[in-house]
Amino acid sequence: MDEELQEPYEDDEEATTPEVSPEAFVAFVTESQNIAAELDETKLAQIARQVIDDHAMDRASMADWMTEMQRGLDLAQLKKEDRKAYPFDGASNVKYPLITTAILQFNARAYPAIVPADQTVRAKVYGSDAGGQKAARAERISSHMSWQLAVQIEEWEADTDQLLTILPAVGTLVRKVWYDPVLGRPRLRVIEPGKFIVNDKVKSLSDAPRCSEEFSLFPPEVEANVREGQFLEVELEETQD
């Protein structure tokens, strides 16, 4: 019975076997500094087209949220509007800074809790720890990560202050953390409202098929990433921007 089932597979000319095992492929991808360097131009163009189309679809799904988010930011910033014509032409355009005051109050109360004076990170031990090894390791991890946030990642404190000012105005904010091989340390930054793109129908980020970030780089930053191997070297059209 087994031999009869195997014969058509062995004789089938269309049956192909993968060149590498899935395990070997995953290992290759995770160890590669830039997988784009291993792909041909046709495949890169195909991926680029799909990325652009998916990004446009996700951004379109966020149109209503983008509008409401921008209204909230304009209100918090007391942005001056054009001459009012309602209820009559030239009506008063004074805005009371109620939302702005609430934002500053939120920042003032949340900041000391998130940025304490002593240890920022505290690891918690679960399960039995008769010899105290887990507790000792947790203390080492807490001390090291607290040092990272307070000293090594020099932008963390100012970035957190900015986050706690924008968050109450927009409701949802994302902070990106990554390792920068150019600086040789972790880095982070708050993604500007409206620059983090995910399909609006997604209930949890863990269920999202993709997340995108829109950001700009200066030419020296692009060149640094090319020399580090993070970017491919391509011809870019020079613009006034």
Which is more confident, 203 or 6?
Answer: 203
Tokens 């939120």, residue?
106
Mean pLDDT, to the nearest integer, of 29-45? Answer: 86
pLDDT at 2: 44
Please provide the average confidence, as pLDDT, over all residues in the chain.
Answer: 85
How many beta carbons lie within 10 A of that of residue 105, not counting itself?
11
CA distance 204 to 34: 28
* Region 114-139 average pLDDT: 90
Regarding predicted confidence, which is higher, 230 or 210?
Answer: 210
Give the pLDDT confidence score for residue 13 in this predicted structure: 47
* Contact (Cβ atoms closer than 8 angstroms) between residue 211 and residue 196: yes
Residue 53 pLDDT greater than 90, yes or no = yes
pLDDT at residue 146, as a whole number = 93
Q: What are residue 38's phi and psi, to 5 degrees? A: -95, -5
Quick one: pLDDT at residue 10? 47
Q: Give the model confidence (pLDDT) of 57-115 as tens digits.
A: 999 999 999 998 888 888 888 877 777 777 777 777 777 888 899 999 999 999 998 88
Give the residue among 101, 67, 58, 94 at the shortest CA–CA distance from 170. Answer: 67
Checking if the pLDDT of 17 tops 60, the result is no
* For range 11-29, the mean pLDDT: 69
Q: In this predicted structure, what is the pLDDT of residue 9?
A: 43
What pLDDT does 27 receive?
85
> Average pLDDT of 177-190?
89
- On the question of pLDDT at 235 being above 50, the answer is yes
Residue 25 has pLDDT above 70, yes or no: yes
Q: Which helix (H) or strand (E) holds 188?
A: strand 185-190
Place of tokens 């409202």: 193
- Residue 8: its pLDDT value, please? 44
Record the tokens describing residue 213, joined without a space.
Answer: 């970030």
